[in-house]
Structure 1
Amino acid sequence: MVRFGLTVMEALLEEYNYLNMQLEAIKSATCNFDDRKVIGKGGFGKVYEGILSHSKGNATMVAFKRLDRNYGQGVPEFLKEILMLSRYKHENLITLVGFCDENGEKILVYEHASNGSLDRHLSSTTLTWRQRLKICIDAAKGLRYLHDPKETQQRVLHRDIKSSNILLDENWNAKVSDMGLSKIGPANQMHTFLVSNVVGTPGYIDPLYMDTYSLTKESDVYSFGVVLFEVLCGKLCFEYNNGRWQSLVQFWKKCYKQKKLTEIIFEDLKQHIDPSSLETFSDIAFQCLQKSRERRPKMSNVVEKLEIALLFQEISEDCEEIGKRVVPPLVYRYNEELKMRLSEGFLFNGGKTISNGLP
């Protein structure tokens, strides 16, 4: 187990001094932190957008996250975010462009995710099931990388996986963000076990984490399972009833077990989801929410099942398109044969084997 004290992190931060940005440049880009530039608020403070000019004359749209201690997070989270995003780089993790630590201001500068966070699009009637699957796959790959980075012996536990921490760029590629609460642990153990104060967001937190104060990578898996159900249901995992916030997770699990998914699926998706895609997706989402951590899948398994769900959906949509031009019974037989081969296991993507069945 690895713990970073504040002084240790500050010393390590000198290594990343090349990312340091001048406060005046940030003020200029945000029109002195004009509220009209605000694109979001979170556990850190306000997030602004602005155009950052470079010495070579180029300009880039970026996002500035400005520390506000009134929001509950502070210097440790600021330093942790810089260290994590500098050390762990992946196409499905948000990229840190720079930071500012000047005149009492602490600001993080990120690549700009122009489509905002996933939570804002859950109820979108234009976001197709196919697009939703791709977003889930991207986010799952980012989390898989954190749990099992290839070039290091240390795995990262995010601790605050939720739809508002999954950002979407202009091409709807998903990127996991907000590493300020993450923990580092050894990757050579079956389970990373850390005793810690419970942090995270109600509704997404692993119940075992709350009960036992023990944190494992399976805690992130649970949180991701909640996100998967949000994507399917088109709403956040909690709602306001009778003067208090109530979690929907237990109700969603109940509907799954009783085979009543149609009661909770986002209405605009119902007519477009391929049944095999839905079954594969909901199965892996439910497994993520298992009470026993041993029964929850690894993120590598989650990625694999989501890719199968996407493949089922693509086959269904392609066959529907073909069906407009050929004899319907022929399309039906073609569709069913492909699905049968998928369920039995076959080679695709240059020889990769998809395992048969669902665990």
Structure 2
Amino acid sequence: MMLSRYTHENLISLLGFCDEDGEKILIYEHASNGSLDRHLRSTTFMWIQRLKACLDAARGLSYLHNDKVTQQRVLHRDIKSSNILLGEFWNAKVSDMGLSKIGPDNQQNTTLITNVVGTVGYLDPKYLESCILTKESDVYSFGIVLFEVLCGRLCFEKIDGKIPMRMWKQKYEENKLDEIIFQDLIQEMDPRSLKTYSDIAFQCLQEYRGGRPIMSLVVEKREAALEFQEIYDVMKHPLDYEMIIETAIPLLTYKSEEELKSCLFKWILLNDGKTWFSLNKNGEHCEMSGSYELQTHLYVTNACPKRLQGKCYVTVNGKFKAHVQAQFLSPEITYTVNLVMKHSVAVLHTRPRF
């Protein structure tokens, strides 16, 4: 009944069942690439594939936790890498809801007192101590899965006699993730993607339940990590000038290669207007996606806004840069420029020189 009521593209679907003559059979959709745990050590299971699989699983779990969509909150109780199945195109789906519990609706928080069930290594310590089950128990288990995907090993495989989870948290806190990351992944990772991924994975493992993120935030951070990686993968390749010329908005007009490069030193739009692109003075490929919400709002004191123009971008090495151009400023006056973004505010104080 539960499987028939809760349908989502990132949940394994129930196709049918048999309950006749003592035969009890459940028929699920087929996941041709098996379970996630079987691919953790695979050198062909690339970082971007892992990011997509984790995002898919997070979306499925977020759907179960969101009582506004389903009217009731479902607590899975057995989130682990072997219960995340991979389809033909490596799309991930959460499976095995045999231990799941349905919580009451119309409540901000769902708490159930129940016998402790699940898989050793993935269980929320607070759930083990108190027998009190909450949606944060699933979040903790998912955090373990995220580290398994990052490190290429199962959580119950001890390392030099040590429990992996404790080592993973310690290495994160010591900023030594390179010592535990699955080595075949390191060369292909975008640093921003890795940081976004590891930050939320660590947050999922907080002892205090209130310190753990809700699954919708996990989804958001997974999306950001994937987007960073996708941009990084594009930027690693040599510039495709033909693609840039064909997709630029507005169309580029030039008579020589030098004129083309001059155009590219200015900001142009690509990807149906979703991506800002330019080359900086060092020839670095600079790009920023509209989803970064790095569009600047310029606030100027003591001057007409036309006198100061600013732009910002993310360079190929992941560093943020901002450039403000001033003209027709009065001497002995300090002009303040506030570049206001979604998550940060940079305040630049400029005293003109003549």
TM-score by length of 1: 0.68
Q: Which of 269, 273, 292 in structure 2 is aligned with 1:342?
A: 292
SS for the counterpart of 1:175 is strand
Letter of the 1:356 partner, please give it. Answer: H
What is the match of residue 115 of structure 2?
Answer: 197
Equivalent residues in 2 for 1:135-154, closer than 5 Å: 135-154=53-72
Deviations along 1:26-52, whole A, 9 cap, x unmatched?
A: xxxxxxxxxxxxxxxxxxxxxxxxxxx
Of the three residues 179, 185, 202, the one matched with 1:263 is 179
Equivalent-residue separation in structure 1 for 2:10 and 2:221 (angstroms): 18
Cα distance change of structure 1 residues 312 and 151 upon mapping to structure 2, 3 Å threshold:
closer
* Post-superposition CA distance 1:251-273 (Å, at most 9, x none): 10000000010000001001110
2:230 corresponds to 1:314: yes
Structure 2: stretches of 5+ with no match in the other structure: 242-260, 262-278, 297-340, 345-354
Confirm or deny that 1:291 pairs with 2:199.
no
Relative contact order higher in (CA < 8 Å, ≥ 6 apart): 1
Distance in 2, matches of 1:239 and 1:187, equals 38
Q: Distance in 2 between the 1:269 and 1:332 partners?
A: 25
Distance 1:204 1:331, change over 3 A: farther
Give the residue type in structure 2 aligned to 1:236. L
Tell me the CA shift for residue 221 of structure 1.
Answer: 0.3
Superimposed CA distance per residue, residues 229-280 of structure 1 (whole angstroms, 9 cap, x where no aligned partner): 01100111111579x8x63111100000000100000010011100000000
Q: Which amino acid aligns with 2:31?
A: A
Does structure 1 conserve the Cα–Cα contact (< 8 Å) formed by 2:63 and 2:69? no
Please say if residues 322 and 331 of structure 1, whose CA atoms lie closer than 8 Å, have aligned partners that are also in contact. no
1:253 corresponds to 2:253: no
Give the Cα–Cα distance (whole angstroms) in 1 for the partners of residues 60 and 293 of structure 2.
Answer: 26
Separation (CA, whole Å) in 2 of partners of 1:316 and 1:183: 41
- Give CA-to-partner distance per residue, 1:125-152, whole Å, 9 cap, x none: 0111111100000000000000004443
- Spell out structure 1 runs of 4+ moving beyond 6 A: 324-329
For 1:224, the equivalent position in structure 2 comes to 142
Among candidates 178, 192, 210, match of residue 276 of structure 1 = 192
Structure 2 distance, partners of 1:150, 1:341, is: 26
Checking the alignment, whether the CA contact within 8 Å between 1:122 and 1:231 is kept in structure 2 is yes
Residue 331 of structure 1 deviates from its aligned partner by 6.2
In 2: Cα distance, 1:135 partner to 1:331 partner:
35
Identity of aligned residues (%): 62
Residue 73 of structure 2 aligns to which amino acid in structure 1? R
The 8 Å contact of residues 233 and 264 in structure 1, kept in 2 or not, is answered as yes
Distance verdict in 2 for CA 1:331–1:310, change over 3 Å = farther
> What is the SS of the residue equivalent to 1:334?
strand
Which AA in structure 1 matches 2:284?
A: Y
Q: What is the match of residue 209 of structure 1?
A: 127
Cross-structure match for 1:158 = 76
SS of equivalent residue, structure 1 residue 205: coil
Comparing both structures, which one devotes a greater share of its residues to helix?
1
Matched to 2:13, the amino acid is T
Alignment gaps of 5+ in structure 1 = 1-82, 347-353
TM-score, normalised to structure 2, is 0.69
Provide the residue aligned with 2:269 in structure 1: none
Paired with 1:260 and 1:252, the residues of 2 have a C-alpha distance of: 9
Q: Distance in 1 between matches of 2:117 and 2:70?
A: 25
Specify whether residues 228 and 240 from structure 1 end up closer, same or farther in structure 2 by C-alpha distance, changes over 3 A only. closer
Q: How far apart are the structure 1 equivalents of 2:295 and 2:2?
A: 37
Which residue does 1:97 correspond to in 2? 15
Matching residue's letter, 1:160: D
- Show CA shifts across 1:142-166 (max 9, x none): 0000000444321100000000000
